[in-house]
Amino acid sequence: MKEEKNTEVRPEGPETERSEAMPYADAAPDAGAKDAPGALPGGKGRFPTAADYLVFLGIFFVANIVGSGVALLAGFPWPGTGSADATAQFNAVAYAVSMSLTLGGMLLYRARRGGPRRVAHFSRRGTDPVLLLWGVVFMLATSVVIEPLLGLLPEVPSAVYGRGVWAAVTLVVMAPLLEETIFRGVLLESTRSRYGVFAAWLISSLLFAVVHLHPAVAVNAFFMGLILGFVYLATDSLWASIFLHAVNNGVAYVVLAMGLGDEGVLLRDFVENDTLYAVIYATAAAIFLFSGYMTLRTLRRLRTAEREQRPADK
């Protein structure tokens, strides 16, 4: 995938400086609306519609059926019915096939519908260490804050993920690369080209949650999708969201590999002291609320900059 250079010309003035809300976020990103005749800056393009999102989901689920079939034909047992290593190998094969078919199918369908050509932005801003550190802290804080909700939902059987090298490769390498390309790339860019940054941020996160199916995983995926989607929009770079996705999955895998996730993966399960947990939760809630406020503030700036660009793009 070729890296696209950002050649946009920004007007001089204080609005072109780095955002006050997020010092690493530029105030006027390329909205991606110039990429195709079917993706007009004013939101007048025909793609995507509600039906197109249903088609995207259909492509995803059909591709997953095909991927599982390929893994079974390759001789790997269904997850949870064999050894941990066999389960990991099944998942690796099924995942690689299904997500590759999903990405290819979505790109072909979008091209036929006249959608934007861009898959994603890959700016160097996505390697900003301050941004990456903030993203990790925000994700960890969010995981703690949503624990009470996750505790009300059915637990995810840890055996379905498998163990070993193949499990690590699937969760920490393939998932961040392919899922970010699909959800923060194809889906988010397609939505932004017609509806703008806020709709792109919310819809891509919602679809990211839907495809995870299991209630607890879906809820967590929705909140993680909001963080990853914002990071992508703020930096115009998929590198940062890929990295943060990999860190999130890596932490989860380490917990599973150490056997800590067999009976629960919530922090409350490991912190027995009520006072200590209350302090940790209050700190996480403060980080979550402050970061959430700054996120919304920056998204409003991005939306304003996007609207100001439209007259020149027509």
- In our burial notation (b when 16+ CB lie closer than 10 A, e otherwise), range 223-259 reads bbbbbbbbbbbbbbbbbbbbbbbbbbbebbbebbeee
| Residue labelled with tokens 């979008």 | 110
User: 242-274, pLDDT tens digit by residue?
Assistant: 999 999 999 888 887 776 655 456 777 778 888
Per the structure block, which two tokens stand in for 24?
A: 């690493």
Q: In sequence order, what are the residues at sequence separation of 6 or more whose Cβ sits closer than 8 angstroms to the Cβ of residue 308?
A: 28
Answer whether residue 33 shows pLDDT above 50.
Answer: no
Show me where the domains of the chain are located: 32-313
Other C-beta atoms closer than 10 Å to the C-beta of 108 total 11
Q: What is the pLDDT of residue 262?
A: 52
Higher-confidence residue of 159 and 164: namely 164
- Confidence class of residue 12 from pLDDT cuts 50, 70 and 90? very low
* φ, ψ dihedrals at 19, nearest 5°: -60, 140
- Dist CA 55 CA 197 (whole Å): 22
pLDDT band at 88 (very low <50, low <70, confident <90, very high): very high
| Residue 220: Cβ-neighbour burial (10 angstroms; 0-12, 13-18, 19+) | buried
